[in-house]
Structure 1
Amino acid sequence: MTKVYLIRHGETEWNLNRRYQGHSDIALSEQGRYQAQQLLRRLAHENIDVLYASDLGRAVETAQIIASAHQKEVQLDQRFRECHFGQWEGLTFPEIEKAYPQEIETWRKRPGQLLVPGGESFALLQVRAYEALLDVVAKHKGENIAIVAHGGTIRTLLCAILDLDLDRAWQLKQDNTALNIISFYDDQTVIECINDTTHLLVGAFPQCENKVE
């Protein structure tokens, strides 16, 4: 069995302002770093053999914080990047609604059907991200793998694993530093949890306090 801890990065200022990031390289906010530290405590007792991340800074920093408790290097793979939002990057949701009313309606109701203007579709994102996931699982068979990626990326991966249409992607919520645990067996794949953010509750995992500097 190969276990994957699939993690969304911590919060950024653009997340807070509902501004589309995509491939824009936006750093974690102080709140995002706090979230990553809390997830570090959640995972401190787990035996993580290898860590991967998207090459965008918000994912890299989240992964590096987690890696600090496991003495592991973070390996980067740009295939785990967020969806490329093209002309939407840097815009807030209301700004996109005003400038692209027809496209945003499709995005709301049928996200799997939209090619973002100047960017990519969830279908294209899913192809590259799922290929990367399967490559990593095959390379590290029998190990525990942490992968830090992005909300859209993780939604498309969960759709691939569950054999769901991409139009159902918004039904799979992914909060900042959400933890998803997936076990890969020879004959099946089992999702153990989705969008776990219990590490952000006050007083969560006090038993890990003495294991984290």
Structure 2
Amino acid sequence: MTRLIVVRHGQTVWNLERKYQGHSDIALTDTGLNQARAVAERLAEEPVHAVYASDLSRAFKTAECIAAAHSLTVKLVPELREIKFGEWEGLTYEQITERWPGLLGKLWTTPDELEIPGGETFRQLKERSTAAIRQILAAHPGQTVAVVAHGGTIGTILCAILDIHLNHVWRIRQDNTAVNVIDFYEGRPTITLLNCVRHLKAEKAGNLPEVK
């Protein structure tokens, strides 16, 4: 069995401000760092053989905490970045709605049909992220690997694993430092844990902003 542990990054300032981040390199808040340390402590007893992450600092710093607990270094994979939001990056929901009336609604209802101005499509995100996951799995047969990425990225990976349409991507919630576990038996995936944040304080778990 090969085990894939997929973790979303910790909280950022733009999460709090409900701004779309995409490829913008936004740092973790103090709370985000504490979340990263908490998830690292939770995973410290897991037999992790390798740690991979998006090259954006919010994912990399989260991964560093996990890797340190296992005396490992983080391997950066740019293909694990969040979807490129293009002209929407740094803007709030209200600002995007004002400038592109009617377009943002497609992000939540039919993301597979959405063309983000200056950005990527969700199909492009799915293709690059799942290709990266396949390469990681091929490099670690029979091992446990941790991967730190982003909400949208993780959603598309899980859609691929579950073989469901990309228009359902936002039905798979991903809180900051959520832990997801996928076990592969002879290449066949089974999701054994989804969006688990039990390592966070009870009053905080599940109450963070949804903007990616």
TM-score, normalised to structure 2, is 0.93
- The aligned residue for residue 180 of structure 2 is 180
Deviations 1:67-126 (A, max 9, x none): 111000100000000000000000011111111122112112111110211000111000
User: CA RMSD for the aligned pairs?
Assistant: 1.1
**Structure 2 gap segments, 5+ residues each:** 203-212
Q: Which whole-Å CA distance do the structure 2 matches of 1:36 and 1:187 have between them?
A: 30
Shift of 1:54: 0.3
User: Who is 1:30 aligned against?
Assistant: 30
Cα deviation digits, residues 26-78 of structure 1 (max 9, x gap): 11000100111110111111110000000001100000011111000100000
- AA matched with 1:90: G
5+ residue gaps, structure 1, are 203-213
| 2:146 aligned with 1:140 | no
Classify the secondary structure of the residue corresponding to 1:159: helix
Report whether the alignment pairs 1:122 with 2:122: yes
Query: Aligned to 2:145, what secondary structure does the other structure show?
Result: strand
Alignment pair present for 1:63 and 2:80 = no
Q: 1: distance between equivalents of 2:115 and 2:168?
A: 16
Q: Could you tell me how far apart the structure 2 residues matched to 1:187 and 1:53 are?
A: 22
SS of corresponding position for 2:181: strand
CA distance, structure 1, for counterparts of residue 92 and residue 30 of structure 2: 21
With the length of structure 1 as denominator, give the TM-score of the two structures.
0.93
Give secondary structure in 2 for the equivalent of 1:200. Answer: coil
- Identify the residue that residue 108 of structure 2 maps to in structure 1: 108
- How far residue 201 of structure 1 moved from its aligned partner, in angstroms, is 2.7
Supply the distance in 2 between the matched residues of 1:131 and 1:190 (Cα, whole angstroms). Answer: 18
Q: After TM superposition, where is structure 1 displaced by more than 3 Å over at least 4 residues in a row?
A: none
Provide the C-alpha distance between the structure 1 equivalents of 2:17 and 2:157, rounded to a whole number of angstroms. Answer: 25
Q: What fraction of aligned residue pairs are identical, expressed as a percent?
A: 47
